[in-house]
Structure formats: structure tokens, C-alpha cells
Amino acid sequence: MRAVVQRVSQAQVVVENDVVGQIGRGFVVLLGVAQGDTAADVSTMADKLVGLRVFDDAEGKMNLALADVGGAMLLVSQFTLLGDCRKGRRPSYVEAAPPELAEALYELVVAEVRKRGIEVATGRFRKHMDVTLTNDGPVTLLIDTRRVF
């Protein structure tokens, strides 16, 4: 499971001209589900996202997590994060999980983050989405439950 996490001051996702998810301060998380991902990856990802300490404390040090600042999460499925661009010019998506599995695991991540007390807004699985955000910092992180960068 792979995620791109951006610390934001605000974000929203629009599907077919309707705002379907919107947050203020928090994270935009673009989430890709890979072949072979399991419930263990879901738990690892949820723990990592909720526990990330990338918000400034009183001394200006990145030391606070989402719950500490009353932040929310906009969680958007994005299979293209599993694109392999090493050969040729067209990415290969063979590492991406099939849509049925990917959707189920994506929904489990949403549920697990909510269980940990964080407000979660979402996009729409397998829909074209317009995601807008204001990256705060900018702070952008990569998380992969099974690989080391």
C-alpha cells in the first residue's frame, strides 16, 4: 500500500461538479492499493497516517499529529501511485490491486482512520475527481507499507 501525504490548510474533491469531500486543516492522502496488500497493510497505513507528527508545536517544531491540532483527512483512492515508469513512456499498472480488492481495502483504511478518532472525507472510487488543495509548508511525504525508499 502506497500513499502520498500532503499537509494542507484546506482541500476538496469534486466529482461531476459536486463537492463530495472537503476539509480544513489536515492531510490529503492519495492512496494506492497494491497486489498482495492485506488487512495488515491497512492497519499499518492507518496507524502511520494518524500518528504522523508533522504539525508545528509552540516552538515551531514538527511535533504534533492530526488529533493534536484538530485536523481532518481527505482520503482519495489513486491507483496510479502503483504505476511503474521504469520502462518506456507509458506506465505499467500490473502492481496495482484489482478494483474490487482495492476498493475494499481503501474503505477499510477509511474505517480504521475514523476508528482512531480522525474525521475523514473521501473522494469517489473509480470516478474522475478534481482535487484541489493548499499545501501547507509545503509538507509532502511518501509512505509505503512494504518498501523502503
User: Is 144:16 a contact under the CB 8 Å cutoff?
Assistant: no
Tell me, yes or no, if 79 is annotated catalytic. Answer: yes
Per the annotation, the verdict on 122 as an active-site residue is no
**Cα separation, 88 vs 71, whole angstroms:** 40
- Catalytic residue chosen out of the listed positions 6, 44, 55, 79: 79
22 among known catalytic residues:
no
Beta-carbon count within 10 A of 146 CB: 12
User: What are 106's three cell numbers?
Assistant: 481503501
- Please spell the DSSP secondary structure of 101-138, one letter per residue: HHHHHHHHHHHHHHHTT-EEEE--TTS--EEEEEEEEE
Among residues 6, 44, 78, 122, the one annotated as catalytic is: 78
Strands 26-32 and 2-15: antiparallel
- Among 35, 80, 134, 140, which one carries the catalytic annotation? 80
List the catalytic residues. 78-80
